[in-house]
Amino acid sequence: MICLLFLLQPFLSGAQPLNKKEIFTRQDTLRGSNGPGRDWWDVKHYSISITPDYKQKRLSGKVEIMYTVKEDISGKLMQIDLQQPMQIDSIQGLAGNKLSFRREGHVFYIDFGKKKQEQWLTKNVIPAIHQVKIWFSGKPSEAVNPPWEGGWIWTKDNRGRPWMTVACQGLGASVWYPCKDYQGDEPDSGATLSVTVPESMSAIGNGRLIIKSNDEKGYSTWNWQVKNPINSYNIVPYIGKYVHLADRYTGETGKELSLDYWVLDVDSARAAKQFGRDVKRMLKAFEYWFGPYPFYEDGFKLVQSSHLGMEHQSAIAYGNHFMDGYLGMDLSGSGWGKKWDYIIIHESGHEWFANNITTNDIADMWVHEGFTMYSEVLFTEFYYGKAAGDAYLQGIRNNIANDRPLIGPYGVNKEGSGDMYNKGASLLHTIRQVIHDDSLFRKILRGLNQEFRHKTVDSKEIEAYMSRVSGKDLSKIVDQYLRTTQIPELEYRLNGQELNYRWTNVVKGFNMPLQLMGKPGAWLYPETGWKKITLPPGTSIEQYNPNFYITLKKGQ
């Protein structure tokens, strides 16, 4: 997801005072937790078919959910999420039998009946694939300010022609289709998306186009398939007057990746120039740092959108108007952020962090946004040098508000602070300095994408992996930056070259080392108790490595 923190900071700083206890509802818990209506079944595949009505701003469609049963489900109901005012019209089981259901707010419960439950409990049936078919319709909530305030987007292009899509990260895919709207359960065998639109329009989806068919009433149905696991909010249709541009990229393993660009017909020339410059160099840099692109089977695709952008897997939403920087601006203020197209770089970075590695709970969304914001630093470094990457990182630190911890409350579909972007990236850059071995740091980034390939994780798993592979206990460092709003403060007293120093404003046991500049190999090893050393000639406490995200305090 993209950010606009320099505009949002005043709001974020005042929106959630640290001393104000948030109140969550049962609906929040149903939406954000893997509760009793979700925990007994595992999604294997979504097959989604929709027909949008642009004039009425309505959708009608069908979803087939393939799933397996994980445990004894005696007396349990199946939770299906679909947000008001959308409605479920009917539900059928695998044999075509009608199933009863009831609604509670944004949640529906399916009752399979005692006979079906008894069948599931037999040894021969439990491993099998089961299916429900759900017909639905209604007017989905309309996006107010996409992608930040999401929903279905009914708009027009600059020639007055209908242009439709959806942006629903955080809000959830259940804003427009019935699903298990829980980030921790992706369909293991991917998804298909079929969209029926007037013949004059194109309907683009994730993955690869399997078939396009026309009927006798002037409509076309576009059928798209994703073979890899995909998060429900990433499954998205784009509908408009699109044309197709195609290219190929040979990755680091020698495998060829298809590059597909779907843009409005009037913008094809600008798109060819902008995408042609930045996509391949993005892939080269990110495959170097993170490992092979995670979805070769589904291809890489950019689709022009009416909103700024979103990391929709294998069909990234692009709305940066073919400009360098972030709508022409450099978020870092360093000058380096205008050397490349922000949306191409940032949203593509999410293919590794958010789509390949996905957190179970959006409370841990810093894993998505912190690593992806850091991908901008790594891209800059790859092409313009280490000093350029450092300058970019130090620049985006100015956008940190320190209003709330980066880790949000679990189980209620609530993310942490918007600082997850800039502060998350700053944490990773600080960790990189502590590791003090760029080859090892790169090994960690690539290892994460291999170890957790196509998996859902918790932040603790990512943290533990970095500590284990680096050979350094990073737990206190990540606790400090993720779970508090306090910036480590090095308090010091200086008498000539005699230095007394300690960490303050830190969690218990915080003992992060700090590199001094001036003399190679000069390090301090502060703890929360006072320590004393004689500074080596040519070093100064005020001249520490600026890539550490800390502050200094001169004591009396």
Q: pLDDT at position 555, please?
A: 84
Q: Which tens digit of pLDDT belongs to each residue from 256-271?
A: 999 999 999 999 999 9
| Sign, CA torsion 197/203/207/213 | positive
Q: What is the mean pLDDT of residues 141-150?
A: 95
For residue 176, tell me if it sits in a domain. yes
Q: pLDDT at position 20, please?
A: 58
Same domain, 521 and 406: no
For residue 282, tell me if it sits in a domain. no
DSSP string, 473-507: --HHHHHHHHH-SPPPEEEEEEETTEEEEEEESS-
End of a domain among 194, 229, 249? Answer: 249
Contacts of 498 (CB under 8 A, 6+ apart): 532, 533, 534, 535
**Which of residues 122 and 52 earns the better pLDDT score?**
52
For residue 452, tell me if it sits in a domain. yes
End of a domain among 483, 507, 539? Answer: 483
Same domain, 533 and 461: no
Grade residue 5 by pLDDT with cuts at 50, 70 and 90.
very low
pLDDT at 534 over 60: yes
Q: Which of 142-146, 212-216, 339-343, 540-544 has the lowest mean pLDDT?
A: 540-544
> Do 347 and 440 touch, CB atoms closer than 8 A?
no
Distance from C-alpha of 277 to C-alpha of 514, rounded to nearest angstrom? 39
Beta bridge partners of 209: 224
pLDDT at 18 over 50: no
Extract the tokens encoding 285.
């840099």
pLDDT at 119 over 70: no
End of a domain among 215, 249, 283? Answer: 249
Same domain, 377 and 475: yes
Regarding pTM above 0.85, the answer is: yes
CA dihedral 186→190→195→201, nearest 10 degrees, is 110
Q: pLDDT at position 416, please?
A: 98
Which helix (DSSP H) or strand (DSSP E) does residue 204 occupy?
strand 202-204
Same domain, 453 and 512: no
Same domain, 475 and 520: no
Q: Which of 15-19, 504-508, 544-548 has the lowest mean pLDDT?
A: 15-19
pLDDT at 294 over 70: yes
Mean model confidence pLDDT for the chain: 93
For residue 301, tell me if it sits in a domain. no
Grade residue 70 by pLDDT with cuts at 50, 70 and 90.
confident
Q: pLDDT at position 16, please?
A: 33
Residue 458, amino acid: D
Grade residue 2 by pLDDT with cuts at 50, 70 and 90.
low
Output the CA–CA distances (angstroms, integers) from residue 49 to 93, 98, 217, 402, in the order listed. Answer: 17, 19, 18, 43
pLDDT-above-90 percentage for the chain? 87
Residue 367, amino acid: V
Grade residue 118 by pLDDT with cuts at 50, 70 and 90.
very low
Same domain, 68 and 205: yes
Q: How many domains does the chain have?
A: 3
For residue 521, tell me if it sits in a domain. yes
Q: Which tens digit of pLDDT belongs to each residue from 312-347?
A: 999 999 999 999 999 999 999 999 999 999 999 999
Grade residue 58 by pLDDT with cuts at 50, 70 and 90.
very high
Same domain, 219 and 109: yes
Q: Which tens digit of pLDDT belongs to each residue from 372-426?
A: 999 999 999 999 999 999 999 999 999 999 999 999 999 999 999 999 999 999 9
Q: What is the 3-state secondary structure (H, E, C) of 417-481?
A: CHHHCHHHHHHHHHHHHHHCCHHHHHHHHHHHHHHCCCEEECHHHHHHHHHHHHCCCCHHHHHHH
> Do 237 and 248 touch, CB atoms closer than 8 A?
no
Q: What is the CATH number for 438?
A: 1.10.390.10
Same domain, 370 and 228: no
Residue 360, amino acid: N
Q: Which domain holds residue 184?
A: 36-249
For helices 438-451 and 422-435, give the axis angle rounded to 10 degrees. 120
Distance from C-alpha of 323 to C-alpha of 334, rounded to nearest angstrom? 17
pLDDT at 157 over 80: yes
Extract the tokens encoding 495.
């008498």
pLDDT at 19 over 50: no
Residue 96, amino acid: G
Output the CA–CA distances (angstroms, integers) from residue 169 to 81, 150, 172, 183, 250, in the order listed. Answer: 15, 7, 6, 10, 31
Same domain, 395 and 458: yes
Q: pLDDT at position 123, please?
A: 42
Q: pLDDT at position 127, please?
A: 54
Distance from C-alpha of 478 to C-alpha of 485, rounded to nearest angstrom? 12
